[in-house]
Structure 1
Amino acid sequence: MATLLKPADSSSTIPGARPAPWAAAWARTAFRLRLALVVLLMAALLSVVPGFFQFIQARPGHLLADPLLALLPVHDVSVPTFALIYGAIAGTLVYLLPRPNLLLRALWAYWFLQLLRMGTLWLLPLEPPAALVLLRDPVMDRIFEVTTQPIVRDLFFSGHTATMTLLALAVRGRKLRRALLLMTAAVGVLVLVQRVHYSYDVLAAPLFAWLAYWLAGRVCRKKPAGQQASGL
């Protein structure tokens, strides 16, 4: 009778059962160290970001000619822009959370992306396009409300477009990636319609996103010997 009451779905009692992805990942010292390190690096970066963007905003820059931008209309499209961005972030997180190794690489890629963007912003001081319409971010405006004026000189390269590209790179599966790439293209067009970026900023963003994801892959690469399957 006792054997009839024993749960039949306990994978821990089945010989040769594959461990859950998080259990398998957490069992690896390298995974734990890389995860702890990227969390610490994110926190350190967060502590310097407000001051850095204050510096960027206070510094004068160059106004660029942009023939492609001149072909587009000018509108306030903040609502659809951030509906796409936060919808894509939510969907990607739902996909990544059960896949710890992909999530770890995405976190490292995002950290590298922020470093790359801070580097290009420091090297290339620019003035925003003349017809700029302020982009209202319902989340980040509250988190980084550190100046008396909006940040509008954070131009090259487009952080919104690069982040969307990074989300597409982070997932697996043709349909999901295709959907995210279409959303990325839409966000790229919308930030141009809003005139918060030059076309150069948007066109360069996917290249930097790819570089950040590649660098993250180098950091998160598992050693060939003595490593257990990741369970992705």
Structure 2
Amino acid sequence: MLLLGLLPVVPGFYHFIQARPGWLLADPLLDLLPVRDVSVLTFTLIYGAIVATLVYLLPRPQLLLRALWAYYFLQVLRMATLWLLPLEPPTTLLMLHDPVMDRIFAVTTQPIVRDLFFSGHTATMALLMLAGRGRRWRWALGLMTVAVGLLVLVQRVHYSYDVLAAPFFAWGAYWLAGRVTKQ
């Protein structure tokens, strides 16, 4: 219910984020990476990981509940950091095209490119890794998290700072969800 409660707030929030000016950051790591449109590979990894994790979590309601709480906290944390740290996107940004969400939601009439710190794509992947159990599962999702982090950098939809901070926010959200669910 709390996640659904965010839905009416999200369009106005992202309109606000997109409309205000921000700071353009220097990022020497981005200069070392090629610039490519890797949207298809990025979302293949993300949606594949989401589906696999949901299949894993559905028969484990306690873990599923913790993951849902963590995702809620992650969204609230991300909205707070976006509000506190207005940034301009990297100058060589290539639009990231989400094949599912682009067809379901139209949050604004213009593309959202100022939702930078921290990377929601990378944080979601890290959260999926934390929600699973078992060495192989976490190892596979950890590699996929690194891959998604690199892919959003190659596409220039985030600064390296956004990607490097994301797992820490995911861990904080997962820890907080553990406090709420007593796990």
* Alignment partners' CA distance in 1, 2:29 and 2:145: 18
Q: TM-score, normalised by structure 1?
A: 0.78
Structure 2 residue aligned with 1:52: 13
What is the identity, as a one-letter code, of the residue corresponding to 1:83?
A: T
Q: Contact 2:49–2:128 (CA<8 Å) still a contact in 1?
A: yes
* Alignment partners' CA distance in 2, 1:107 and 1:158: 18
Picking from 50, 53, 72, the partner of 1:111 is: 72
* Alignment partners' CA distance in 2, 1:133 and 1:92: 29
Q: Deviations over 1:140-169 (max 9, x none)?
A: 223331322100000000000000000000
RMSD between superposed Cα atoms in Å:
0.8
Q: Contact 1:109–1:216 (CA<8 Å) still a contact in 2?
A: yes
Structure 1 residue aligned with 2:137: 176
Structure 1 residue aligned with 2:168: 207
Q: Is 1:152 matched up with 2:136?
A: no
Q: Contact 1:62–1:126 (CA<8 Å) still a contact in 2?
A: yes
Q: Deviations over 1:93-135 (max 9, x none)?
A: 0000000000000000000000000000000000000000000
Structure 1 residue aligned with 2:180: 219
Deviating above 2 A after TM superposition, structure 1's stretches of 4 or more consecutive aligned residues are none
Q: State the Cα distance separating 1:192 from its structure 2 match.
A: 0.1
Greater RCO, CA 8 A, separation 6+:
2
Q: Contact 1:169–1:177 (CA<8 Å) still a contact in 2?
A: yes
Q: TM-score, normalised by structure 2?
A: 0.98
* Alignment partners' CA distance in 1, 2:167 and 2:56: 21
What is the identity, as a one-letter code, of the residue corresponding to 1:186?
A: A
Q: Which runs of 5+ in 2 are unaligned?
A: none
What is the identity, as a one-letter code, of the residue corresponding to 1:205?
A: A
The correspondence of residues 101-140 of structure 1 with structure 2, limited to 5 A, is 101-140=62-101
Q: State the Cα distance separating 1:84 from its structure 2 match.
A: 0.3
Higher mean alpha-carbon deviation, 144-153 vs 196-205, is at 144-153
Report how many residues are paired.
183
